[in-house]
Amino acid sequence: MDKGIQVDSVYTDFRKAFDKVDHYILLKKIAFNGIRGDLLRWFHSYITKRTQRVVVNGHSSNLVTVISGVPQGSILGPLLFILFINDINNCFHHSHFLLYADDLKVYLPILSADDNFKLQSDLYRLSLYCTKNKLQLNVDKCKSITFTKKRNLINNTYTINNTEWI
């Protein structure tokens, strides 16, 4: 940007990311990362068939089976989420990205309209990734911003899941 380059950046928001982790997909990704045998069976036991209830003023709700998500408040919860989302880098053939837990920023220097197309194609791959992994982007909270000192911008409207924003 100091050299007068335009950088377009897209900030994303995953809807209830830690709650939406599909157990079956997570276990496949754990196995893909080399964990097998007794340890994989332990993870299966730890992740699946969990139950929870709510207690208010001494009154308990019925137990409900938790069908997705990683255990929040646990030591392993964030690590399991990182394992789940670790392959998101495959979406970005052109763009750069920064990922911290479930906060993702995708950005690319825009030197021509072709670069707008490259960023959009990476956003499309991100959308496909979310569908494949049963994650949802909260498009109302996704934002794009252009950083530049240039007066003549290379404008583009980016979309995710057919929702546009500038």
Full DSSP string of 30-59: HHHTT--HHHHHHHHHHHSSEEE--EETTE
Of all residues in the chain, the percent with pLDDT exceeding 90 is 72
pLDDT of amino acid 86? 94
At 57-78, the pLDDT tens digits run: 999 999 998 899 998 889 999 9
Q: Nearest CA to 119 among 142, 144, 136, 147?
A: 144
Q: Nearest CA to 24 among 49, 48, 51, 50?
A: 48
Geometric angle at alpha carbon 155, from 94 and 104, rounded to 5°: 45
Q: What is the CA radius of gyration of the chain?
A: 20
Give pTM, 2 decimals: 0.87
CA distance 88 to 85: 6
Q: What is the mean pLDDT of residues 101-123?
A: 94
Q: How confident is the model at residue 134 (pLDDT cuts 50, 70, 90)?
A: very high
DSSP single-letter state for residue 68: B
pLDDT of amino acid 126? 96
